[in-house]
Amino acid sequence: MGKWVICAAWPYVNAFPHLGTLIACVISPDVVARYLRLKGEDVVFVSGSDEHGTPIEVEARKLGIEPKKLTDELHSYVSLLFEKFKISYDNYTRTENPIHIRFVQEFFMKIYENGYIYDENVSLPFCTKCEIFLPDRFIEGTCPYCGYEKARGDQCDNCGRLLDPLDLINPKCVFCGSKPTVKVTRHWFFDLTKLSEKLHNFVMNHEHFPPSVKNYCNAWFREGLKPRAITRDNAWGIPAPFPGANGKTIYVWFEALLGYLSATLEYFTSRGEAERWKDYWLNKDCKTVFFIGKDNIPFHAIILPAMLMASGEHYVLPWQISSIEFLMFEGQAFSKSRGIGVWADEALEICPPDYWRFALILLRPEVRDLNFTWKDFYRIVNSELNDNIGNFIHRTLSFIYRYFGGEVPSPSKLNVEDEEFKKTVESAPKRIGLQIEKMRLRLAAEALLEFSSKCNQYLNLKEPWRRIKSNLEDSSTTLWLTANAVKALSILMEPFMPDASEEVWRLLGLEGSVHSAKWFEAASFNLKPGHKIRKPKPIFKKLPINFVETVEKQLSEVRSKLKRPKLAK
Ligand SMILES: [Zn+2]
Ligand SMILES: [Zn+2]
């Protein structure tokens, strides 16, 4: 049994997740975590809300409340959404949890003592009216490269360039609009240059990192790694533990990365076995997999390993990074301000979570940017879920219920077609599993559909509804085989559609839960003749024929009724 930590990127708590976030960092890791558990692997699946830093501080100031009050509300709202999407986190926590805070402080002190951190005076914009420094998003102005007027101190959202706050033309304080002055302040830097060679070898010779990760990092290596400031003058954050750093906090990016470790520690602490987190993070055989958006690659492939190396402890370094390209929405980028896209809470008002989970996996942008369209969604729900998977399950169960009194019939001797079908079922878990292990989740979902299509083809070929009168033995064999194929589907669907798979398990009259079944049990044909099933009913519902034309209207009605935590922006 292998040990795994499945790490889902920590969403920034004031950005409600939209479909793109869901597929990159929420549903994908859940599919993998569920699959590995079914395979009997030892899995810890962690994530949490990234809640410190400038944007929350800005937001809370605008609302006139304490940052903690704001993040309490946002964290519980987002956590509940993920629960509704059936995301099987072992621990979905937050950066304000005391275990994380202590872990981060101790960790950074270790790096400091090992000589990787130094301090230096830097000039930063300062608002004399608000009496605060204005790094990152506290300051706005015109981008010196592209002329975009709302560029931030850390980045221009228009041309994507990283900026220094002092580069901005006509800079303004985001709170009061005043023109900032420049003031000298002391900051602490993580000296990445000392680890350059080790990091370069780690990334470029990595056995599992995909080319996309290596290419992205190579751009950083070519420019040369530079020391990065790891402190900020924000009040809202984890106090920097370094001597002389009173009033400074750790930059969110650096502390949130350690959340994967502290969340594992917190999980085992809550179970009264605090030391067990070391069996994962300090175990060279443990595999850590990170699900992130592609813009976060350098932080996970370079900065996190750098911190782990600098600690001097033998932490396990990232085993795999699964980042995807961008998901577009009807040809455009998701935009909250322009109302383009669908957000997690809205999505659930339109369709059950399984429909979204499966559709998004099928549209997962694994090799290039992909476009979500309502037309595709409609096709996936109606043709794939209903006409393909749902139809096979319902036809098989209804037939057994109607013609065999709800008891799985006995097989006779299998003919060539039966044998071939049996082999199809037996090979399905391996075929689908292989793609999941390669993090090609879209191909895995396609393999599931292909399997279900073959089930339908076999049923159509055998026509038990016609043959039952002339050849009962043949029909009995067919239905014994397809009943076992339904059981296989129930297990193989679990990582993608946990609710529907459990419903199929229940209709099959099976004991316990599909969530604790074994992946390769799908190939076992252990549904015995005489086994009693329950009264069948359809697993999925079709979307109405005018769905594509009416969904945007439905969505705007949903939007007006949602009770989200209030944000100032
Ligand atoms: Zn100001
Ligand atoms: Zn720009």
Ligand 2 centroid, distance to 150 Cα (angstroms): 9
Ligand 2 centroid, distance to 160 Cα (angstroms): 6
Length of the chain: 569
Confidence of residue 132 (pLDDT cuts 50, 70, 90): confident
User: Where among 171, 190, 209 does a domain terminate?
Assistant: 190
Ligand positioned closest to the Cα atom of 126: 1
- What is the spatial distance between Cα 425 and Cα 450, in angstroms, rounded to a whole number? 11
∠ Cα 392 395 397 (to 5°) = 105
Residue 366 within a domain = no
Ligand 1 centroid, distance to 139 Cα (angstroms): 9
CATH of the domain at 29: 3.40.50.620
Q: Rounded mean pLDDT of 85-92? A: 98
Ligand 1 centroid, distance to 122 Cα (angstroms): 20
Residue 165 within a domain = yes
Ligand 2 centroid, distance to 167 Cα (angstroms): 11
Whether the predicted pLDDT of 226 surpasses 60: yes
Q: How large is the C-alpha radius of gyration of the chain?
A: 27
If one counts the domains in the chain, the total is: 3
Q: Rounded mean pLDDT of 152-166? A: 84
Contact between 7 and 44 (Cβ < 8 Å): no
Ligand 2 centroid, distance to 176 Cα (angstroms): 23
Q: What is the pLDDT of residues 355-404, one digit of tens each?
A: 999 999 999 999 889 999 999 999 999 999 999 999 999 999 999 999 99
Q: Are 149 and 133 members of one domain?
A: yes
Whether the predicted pLDDT of 176 surpasses 90: no
Ligand 2 centroid, distance to 145 Cα (angstroms): 5
Q: Are 184 and 143 members of one domain?
A: yes
- What is the spatial distance between Cα 233 and Cα 248, in angstroms, rounded to a whole number? 5
Task: Indicate the pairing of strand 3-8 with strand 287-293.
Answer: parallel
- What is the spatial distance between Cα 91 and Cα 113, in angstroms, rounded to a whole number? 31
Ligand 2 centroid, distance to 170 Cα (angstroms): 14
Q: Which two tokens stand for residue 152?
A: 């931030």
Ligand 2 centroid, distance to 199 Cα (angstroms): 30
By C-alpha distance, which of 396, 334, 380 is closest to 527? Answer: 396
Residue 449 within a domain = yes
Residue 222 within a domain = no
Residue 243 within a domain = no
CA distances from 377 to 26, 317, 344, 367, 451 (A): 19, 38, 15, 20, 20
Q: Structural domain of residue 94, as residue ranges? A: 3-112+251-350
Ligand 2 centroid, distance to 101 Cα (angstroms): 35
User: Where among 138, 169, 190 does a domain terminate?
Assistant: 190
Q: Are 407 and 504 members of one domain?
A: yes
Q: Which two tokens stand for residue 162?
A: 């990283």
What is the per-residue pLDDT for 54? 78
Ligand positioned closest to the Cα atom of 174: 1
- The phi, psi pair for 153, rounded to 5°, reads -65, -25
CATH of the domain at 491: 1.10.730.10
Q: Are 386 and 510 members of one domain?
A: yes
- The phi, psi pair for 140, rounded to 5°, reads -130, 150
Ligand 1 centroid, distance to 13 Cα (angstroms): 24
What is the per-residue pLDDT for 58? 79
- What is the spatial distance between Cα 93 and Cα 30, in angstroms, rounded to a whole number? 16
pTM of the model: 0.94
Q: Rounded mean pLDDT of 177-187? A: 95
Ligand 2 centroid, distance to 567 Cα (angstroms): 26
Non-local (6+) Cβ contacts of 162 within 8 A are: 154, 155
Q: Are 89 and 177 members of one domain?
A: no
Q: Are 185 and 106 members of one domain?
A: no
CATH of the domain at 153: 2.170.220.10
Ligand 2 centroid, distance to 421 Cα (angstroms): 58
Question: What angle do helix axes 391-403 and 472-493 make, rounded to 10 degrees?
Answer: 140
Q: Are 500 and 393 members of one domain?
A: yes
Ligand 2 centroid, distance to 57 Cα (angstroms): 24
Ligand positioned closest to the Cα atom of 130: 1
Residue 223 within a domain = no
Contact between 321 and 303 (Cβ < 8 Å): no
Q: Are 53 and 14 members of one domain?
A: yes
Q: Rounded mean pLDDT of 456-482? A: 95
Ligand 1 centroid, distance to 549 Cα (angstroms): 47
Ligand positioned closest to the Cα atom of 148: 2
Whether the predicted pLDDT of 568 surpasses 80: no
Contact between 135 and 54 (Cβ < 8 Å): yes
Q: What single string gives the DSSP state of each residue in 248-311? A: -EE-HHHHHHTHHHHHHHHHHHHTT-GGGGHHHHT-TT-EEEEEEEGGGHHIIIIIHHHHHHHT
Ligand positioned closest to the Cα atom of 175: 1
Q: Are 390 and 423 members of one domain?
A: yes
Average pLDDT, the chain: 95
Ligand positioned closest to the Cα atom of 144: 2
Ligand 2 centroid, distance to 165 Cα (angstroms): 13
What is the per-residue pLDDT for 569? 52
Ligand 1 centroid, distance to 165 Cα (angstroms): 15
Q: Are 345 and 415 members of one domain?
A: no
- What is the spatial distance between Cα 465 and Cα 395, in angstroms, rounded to a whole number? 10
Least confident segment among 221-225, 340-344, 357-361, 502-506: 221-225
Q: Which two tokens stand for residue 405?
A: 């009194």
Q: What is the pLDDT of residues 248-287, one digit of tens each?
A: 999 998 999 999 999 999 999 999 999 999 999 999 999 9
Ligand 1 centroid, distance to 545 Cα (angstroms): 54
SS3 label, residue 543 = coil
Q: Are 96 and 141 members of one domain?
A: no
Q: Are 51 and 163 members of one domain?
A: no
SS3 label, residue 141 = strand
Q: Which residues are registered as beta bridge partners of 320?
A: 289
Ligand positioned closest to the Cα atom of 138: 1
Residue 558 within a domain = no
By C-alpha distance, which of 162, 190, 168, 205 is closest to 295? Answer: 162
Q: What is the pLDDT of residues 553-565, one digit of tens each?
A: 999 999 999 988 8
- What is the spatial distance between Cα 26 and Cα 84, in angstroms, rounded to a whole number? 12
- What is the spatial distance between Cα 405 and Cα 475, in angstroms, rounded to a whole number? 14
What is the per-residue pLDDT for 57? 85
- The phi, psi pair for 525, rounded to 5°, reads 50, 45
Contact between 229 and 189 (Cβ < 8 Å): yes
What is the per-residue pLDDT for 137? 80
CA distances from 491 to 310, 428, 502, 521, 529 (A): 43, 11, 9, 8, 20
Ligand 1 centroid, distance to 423 Cα (angstroms): 70
Q: What is the pLDDT of residues 301-352, one digit of tens each?
A: 999 999 999 999 999 999 999 999 999 999 999 988 788 999 999 999 999 9
Residue 237 within a domain = no
